[in-house]
Structure 1
Amino acid sequence: MGKNKKRSGPIDESHLDVSERQAGTVRFVDTHTHLLSTFSAYRSKYPLGKYETVYDFVQGLYGSKKVDGIIDVFCEAPVQSGWKELADSALSPEKKSTQWGGIDYWFVMGVHPHEAKNYTDKAMKHSRNVGWGEIGLDYHYDLSPRDIQQKVFRRQLELAVSLHKPLTIHTREAEEDTERLMKEIIPKDHKIHVHCFTDSPDFAARLLEHFPNLFIGITGVITYSTNLNTSAVIKHLSSNSIIARPQKQPTTFMSYRHAPMDRGCIAECDFLIVK
């Protein structure tokens, strides 16, 4: 019997809602989301959807779900023009209450390795900026030449260190070069989040041994049957070395990525981010 290649219809918008039961009791911060691109994908998928603005979207998916804050990631080149409006809107207590529903908003900024060929420096002086990222090396897709990826990664590491900015690092199938550049440039005590980790357990162990303030980010890709690395990594790490993040992947639940809360399917574990 041949395979049924007919694609299923869109998931009902109600599946985005997270019940109190699903949300659990742990308070947390979403350390890595992409609000503007996710909201744009949401409006494309649900043109008549109930969330008309990005602020409605945030309050609807995060509000009353024990979320203390979110960290938005801008890693495109050029950076999306809406970053400053979002950051400025989080400056006053009044707007934090009315627009963000009491949720703290911060952002990090950098250039993803896929966009390294388009790199230009960006100001990092805004008071809601809490880090530099996501930056790094990605040899799986090679959307930018590797030598350019390395040059841009080096320059961004140097700038982030000079400004004492915590780092969000993306690395995939580039262990040797990533480790070499990190150890060459980053001080041992620097704060680092290696997000969506899918490389080898040995690589994770070497980074954690060298950088005492480094955390390994574990996302929903751990559920993929083909992803043996991440499953092996988590078996050998202490819980205080892990940041668990409900990353929206293209093939899980819905067709857009980095959706807040992943419908509340969040492991209620003792390592789940903040207290």
Structure 2
Amino acid sequence: MLFDTHAHLNDEQFAGDVPETIERAKEAGVTRIAVVGYDLASSIESIKIAKRYGSVYAVIGVHPHDAATLDGDTLTKLRVYAREPEVVAIGEIGLDYYRNLSPRQIQVDAFRTQIHLAKELKKPIVIHDRDAHEDTVNMLRSEQAGENGGILHCFSGSWEMARQCMSLGFHISIAGPVTYHNANKLLEIAKLVPLDRLLVETDCPYLAPHPFRGKRNEPARVRLVGEKIAELRRISLEQLAEATTKNALTVFEIK
């Protein structure tokens, strides 16, 4: 039974078929899904979806692309919404120096503010890091951001970065790129991360695994991610699923 720890069923690409998408996931053995917000509106939508469907959970926060929208009013609303029972983490938050859709200092400020919010609420964080590895690790260390645990989602850093993040209290989540032909670094990390620190995700509708690359991704396809990692580690898919689901339940404090 797999847990897709990072899905955007709140994305407009799923506007017409969320129930069918969740049903396909169940048929593929994906029994739990975390729906992740990236701004206030999508965070609210993630809660609505989680309330509507069993075994679906909400993660709420403001993505670095939208960091400039994190004003006092938005922060106050996130604090209120975070107390809904379906909300299991604050995210996705972090830094994105690849697209730079918000000025870097505003990204840094929004990241720090939401780490503080998560610590106040005693919730884990879900981190987006793209081309900002050093600043991300420095922030996590300086703010003691792993106090309540968290996830480096769609991990793209080095093994050394993974080691540092795990030492700070974080889990490493691997997505569809592990199935790509040019993913040598990620293949090694998928083998090296201790099984009790490993998670799987789709980041759907993005990053569909091979052979669906370029098409809309969905939670059912986290099975392909799991199969690839199990093959690399020379264990069964059942072992991989049991371990990663247990890890997700631990991180998100789901009973």
Quote the residue 1:221 is aligned against: 177
Task: Extract structure 1 runs of 4+ deviating beyond 4 A.
Answer: 254-258
- Higher mean alpha-carbon deviation, 75-84 vs 154-163, is at 75-84
Change (3 A) 1:137 1:68: same
Quote the residue 2:35 is aligned against: 72
Quote the residue 2:240 is aligned against: 271
Change (3 A) 1:205 1:86: same
Q: Is 2:195 aligned against 1:239? A: yes
Once the 2 structures are TM-superposed, how far is the Cα of residue 175 of structure 1 from its aligned partner?
1.7
Number of residues of Structure 1 aligned to a counterpart in Structure 2:
224
Q: In 2, distance between residues paired with 1:125 and 1:263?
A: 28
Q: Please list every run of 5 or more consecutive structure 1 residues that lacks an aligned counterpart in the other structure.
A: 1-26, 44-51, 90-99
Quote the residue 1:10 is aligned against: none
Quote the residue 1:9 is aligned against: none
Quote the residue 2:234 is aligned against: none
Change (3 A) 1:166 1:147: same
Structure 1 or 2: more helix by fraction: 2
Query: What is the letter of the counterpart of residue 20 of structure 2?
Result: D
Q: Is 2:4 aligned against 1:30? A: yes
Once the 2 structures are TM-superposed, how far is the Cα of residue 151 of structure 1 from its aligned partner?
0.3
Q: In 2, distance between residues paired with 1:263 and 1:193?
A: 17
2:68 to 114, 117, 120: 117
Q: Please list every run of 5 or more consecutive structure 2 residues that lacks an aligned counterpart in the other structure.
A: 228-236, 247-255
Identity of aligned residues (%): 28
Give TM-score, length-normalised by structure 2. Answer: 0.77
Specify the SS of the correspondent of 1:137.
strand
Specify the SS of the correspondent of 1:274.
helix
Would you say the 8 A contact 2:30–2:220 is kept in 1?
no
Specify the SS of the correspondent of 2:137.
helix
Quote the residue 1:63 is aligned against: 26
Larger Rg: 1
Quote the residue 1:260 is aligned against: 219
Q: In 2, distance between residues paired with 1:238 and 1:251?
A: 24
1:54 to 6, 10, 18: 18
